[in-house]
Amino acid sequence: MGYPRQPSIFLSEEHDAFRTTVASFVQREIRPHADEWEAAGECSRELYRKAGAAGLLGLRYSEELGGSGLDFMATAVLAEELAKSDSIGTAVSLMAQSEFALAILADEASDEIKARWMAPAIAGELIGAIGVSEPGAGSDVAAITTRAVRDGGDYVISGQKTFISNGTRADFITLAVRTGEPGPKGISLVVFPTDTPGFEVGRRLDKLGARASDTGELYFDECRVPVANLVGEEGQGLRYILSHFGGERLVIASFAVGIMERLIELGLDYAAERQTFGSPILGFQTWRHRFAEMATSCEATRLLAYQAARLLSDRDPAGDLAVSMAKLRAAEAVQSVAAEVLQLHGGFGQMEESPIPRYYRDVAGFSIGAGTSEIMRELISRSLISTINTNPTNKETAR
> pLDDT value at position 5?
85
For the chain, the 3-state helix, strand and coil shares in percent, each to the nearest 5, are 60, 15, 25
For the stretch 71-82, pLDDT in tens is 999 999 999 999
Amino acid code (one letter) for 276:
T
φ, ψ for residue 3, nearest 5 deg: -90, 130
pLDDT of residue 6: 82
pLDDT for 390: 67
By CB neighbour count within 10 A (0-12 exposed, 13-18 middle, 19+ buried), where does 50 fall? middle
Residue 63 · residue 300 · CB < 8 Å: no
- The 10 Å CB-count burial string (b at 16+, else e) for 221-242 is eebebeeebbbbebbbbbebbe
| pTM recorded for the entire structure | 0.94
Catalytic site residue from 42, 99, 217, 248: 248
Rounded CA gap, 240 and 360, in Å?
A: 33
At 399 the pLDDT is 44
Judged by DSSP in three states, 303 sits in helix
Q: What is the pLDDT of residues 225-256, one digit of tens each?
A: 999 999 999 999 999 999 999 999 999 999 99
Known catalytic membership, residue 248: yes
Yes or no: say if 190 and 231 are a contact pair by the CB < 8 Å rule.
yes
What domains can you pick out in the chain, each with its CATH number?
A: 13-122 (1.10.540.10), 128-234 (2.40.110.10), 241-391 (1.20.140.10)
335 forms bridges with which residues in the sheet? Answer: none
pLDDT of residue 397: 46
306 and 35 Cβ atoms separated by less than 8 Å: no
Q: Determine contact, residues 232/248, Cβ cutoff 8 Å.
A: no
pLDDT for position 228 = 98
pLDDT-flagged residues of the chain (< 50) = 396-399
